[in-house]
Amino acid sequence: MIILKADYKKYNVSELEKLRFDEEEFYKMFDNAILLQTCNRVELIFDADSLDEIKGIENIDLKKFDILYGDEAIEHIFRVACGLESMIVGEDQILGQLKNAYLKAKEKGKISKKLEKIILKAIHTGQRARVETNINKGGVSIGSAAVELAEKIFGLEGKNVLLIGAGEMATLVIKALKEKNIKAIIVANRTYEKAEKLAKELGGIAINFDKLEEALRYADIVISATGAPHPILNKERLKNAGKTVIIDIANPRDTTDDIRELPDIFLFTIDDLRLVAEENLKKRKDEIPKVELIIEEELRNLKEILDKMKFEKVIQEFGQYIENMRKREVEKALKILKNKNKPVEEVLDNFSKAMCKKIIYDVIKIFENIEDEEIFEKLAKHLKNVNN
């Protein structure tokens, strides 16, 4: 197995964007391969032992990728599935992305049996890690921490949530809210089309900024994440909002400090959320050794599976070799029977001796090139038992 890897550790998002492949073109170019692409990584996964085996590899600028081989590559994909290689340790999204990449390769008929075994085992390992450890517990992005804080303070079930903004941070909030049983979501943004697109993800509604005061009175929880250069929420704008939790995750801030003077408004800023996120991240990092033990166990299991597959392939090829030899010798025997008046018993006896000699000769040649004495000892012991 070989992986060509480029990720957030080496490139920023815009640089990674330039390394991305068109899926259709990738699968036209390569066989026995999987393309894994996210906003934080581009990984080309091949069932090959060397780059020379990969047809079409000359079309890739290899200098832009880190190259992992064999066991190192397999362990890496297990770590990816478990979220240990993610920017946010233990995040769940990568597992779904790996599943989708696998299904796309399978749909295209581009995945080998060996590669399928490895990826399915990696996915299983990622699932185990999330069930048996706390590697994915607690929000560690500012967006997920905002949702977690709102849930702890006020509860989210049956609540009306107003999200102000529709950029990257707001998208993280929406992802975190998807798992919650909220009553309604309203997305407000200066560009209505962006608000509408984001609202659709949760079956919510989008509004323009001119409806913001009305939405503030309706909302139980307000999460503000705009890119505005100046505050958009102040004491005057919120004086009639009623009991409301406001979480400001914008930078620069969307809120003014005078909001805290309102008795029914509970304001939290990005500084409060950093403490939540950092504490959750520490807890996740404490779980990493537990996940690595699961990975070690599953890698041992996978090695047994791959060794068995390798043995089965050798047996299959050996069986094909015997069959081809049998056909050749049968043809010779039939010609002798047709052209010469030899007894059938004699022809069959000569046929069987000739075939055995060829098999023994070829097997000896094979074992002459193997230096492992243990193989000979096992073979000798097995033959002795069979003959006895």
The residues carrying an active-site annotation are 39
Q: Is 43 annotated as ligand-binding?
A: no
- DSSP states of 285-346: HHHHHHHHHHHHHHHHHHHHHHHHHHHHHHHHHHHHHHHHHHHHHHHHHHHHHHHS---HHH
CB 45 within 8 A of CB 122: no
Phi, psi of 92 (to 5 degrees): -85, -25
Name every residue whose Cβ is closer than 8 Å to that of residue 12 and which is 6 or more positions away in sequence: none
- Going across the sheet that includes 2-7, the strands are 33-38, 41-46, 2-7, 66-69
Q: Is 170 annotated as ligand-binding?
A: yes
Q: Is 325 annotated as ligand-binding?
A: no
Q: Is 127 annotated as ligand-binding?
A: no
CB 73 within 8 A of CB 2: yes
Closest-CA residue to 127 (of 81, 190, 158): 81
- Pairwise CA distance, residues 284 & 116, whole Å: 29
Q: Is 83 annotated as ligand-binding?
A: no
Q: Is 227 annotated as ligand-binding?
A: no
Q: Is 356 annotated as ligand-binding?
A: no
Q: Is 38 annotated as ligand-binding?
A: yes
Tokens of 205: 């509604």
Closest-CA residue to 80 (of 62, 64, 102): 102
CA 84 to chain centre: 11
CA 342 to chain centre: 67
CB 343 within 8 A of CB 306: no
- Pairwise CA distance, residues 365 & 36, whole Å: 43
Q: Is 39 annotated as ligand-binding?
A: yes
Binding-site residues: 38-41, 86, 91-93, 97, 165-170
Binding-site residues for NADP(+): 165-170
Binding-site residues for substrate: 38-41, 86, 91-93, 97
